[in-house]
Structure 1
Amino acid sequence: MLVPMKPLLDEAQKKKYAVGAFNAGTVETMEAIIEAAEEVNTPVIFNHAQCIEEFAPIREVAPKLISIAKASKVPVAVNLDHGLDFEYIMTAIHLGFTSVMSDFSLLPYEENVKNVKRVVDICKACGISTEGLLGVMPSNVVGQEQKVPEGMKVSDFYTKPEEAKDFVERTGLDALAISFGTVHGLYVEDVVLDIDLLKKIRENVDCNLVMHGGSGVAPEQIKKAIDNGVSKINYYTYMSNAGVSAMREVMEKSTVPPYVHELAYYSKNAMRENAKKAMLLFNNGYKREK
């Protein structure tokens, strides 16, 4: 069933688990995510990121996302991930997304507040959930590279608890994505989350907290994040890698060139199993009644 995101996160926050938000840019990816969620019997969030518009145009993807969500046996929110400009965010709203993330985090603080509040005011009138980002997360995703300047540390860009409090109070956000140790894309070294910082932010804000960059974070670190207030975790890179690895294996073992439908089939199966493992981890021991 298609639902707003906020009720899913409120319930997760209350019962100490996290809802997984998985990028779904192809039909195979959408099916893998839904099949995994229904098997685990857990709510889930479809993410569509503006940065993949070239490969998965929102006007083509949205009807598929919403149709699959409506037919699902579990609650599904359809979320715009990292909406980078007002026009694109409005497009997502008009197409039926039940949640939008406004990412104006690279703008000066006051501009970030102003732009996010503008989106939140519109979404509240439409019954749509909202998410924003405060702090900067490094990225090694191709086309989205964002490196830490020489002479500075990643921690210099972490979310500040006092700013988080002000930001949430002034914008009215339902969920806040924070920077406390994760990155977008692949990790080149073991990640260590700043759990003390997370605790301070949790004490300062009333809204739900979101962790981006869930792929590659050790299970014990994931558990600590959930236990200390994270109720939504974005996850995609490792699931995608599983699908690509499955296709590569078929191509390497096949004595004749495989058909594209074969590659899609094995890729979907691999992504489903990877997503299922992530969902079970994010559930943090909680089991939803059927």
Structure 2
Amino acid sequence: MRILAVCLTGCILDFVLGDPYWLYHPVRLIGALIAKCEQICRRIANGSKRRLLIGGGVIFVVVLLVSTAVPAGVLYLAEKIHPLLSFGLESFWCYQILAARSLQTESMKVYRELKKQDLPAARKAVSMIVGRDTDSLDAEGVTKAAVETVAENTSDGVIAPLLFLLIGGAPLGFAYKAVNTMDSMLGYKEETYLYIGRTAAKADDVVNYIPARISALLMIAGAFLCGMDGKQAWKIFLRDRRKHASPNSAQTESVCAGALGIQLAGDACYFGKRYKKETIGDPLRSVEAEDIKRAALLMYATEILTLFLFGSLRFLLCLI
């Protein structure tokens, strides 16, 4: 019952407060730990691919254990001082682990610049939330990039962490964020990270496999609730959910594209190199700036459904 309460409090805090820039985020500490471990690993490996591969595995284990054990230990000590202190701290951490309001805030910056028809500013705004090159994007490309980011991160930024929080509270939530952050920092398919980041990349695929599919199914339900095209969302999900190099990324992107009746993905540039990618969805109409707001609405609907359904399941398990 306690875990359900801290998750609900965390969701409310995230919706109300978002992610203030002045507030130091614990994920930055995880990132600093990853960077330090990478530095040590590269020094020891001295360019050896085998050592980098082994070192990447060691980094994964160390970062995962520290990211889980530290919050668990702190919460244990806080509980010894007073249960309310422990409850408040874990609620606060649950709030920081979730990123729904942050996604909405950052994507709306892109929306506002597009509405002002300031393309350079819109490109700059979207560059803060995507990994691709944005300098050559037109207004439609900028809009697509923002919608895709909201759709994809609905799973790994909101629903997946919420599911882990509902299972094991803040410690398991931080474990998930550790895996996610390692993938973001090390999981690139380029020579520099091909070996040291392999374990992190594969682990991220594994931990997101089920949450991504749960997110997609609940997003389809959310499309019906929001008055969007739920039938088309289901159709495109079945057809296009595997059209991505990652086994998970296209799950929610395909649903979002179908629900909005637009086409997403396609070729993109990364680090100055153009990559061929399949398109997702059918271009039933042209992409427009309002689709960014619709994608955010769909994200919130999916989060509410997740909290209701899995929160109810957690509640029933507590009664057994």
User: Which category of TM-score, normalised to the shorter sequence, fits these structures?
Assistant: under 0.3
TM-score (normalised: structure 2): 0.26
Larger Rg: 2
TM-score by length of 1: 0.28
Q: Name the one with the larger strand percent.
A: 1
Normalized per residue, the structure richer in helix is 2
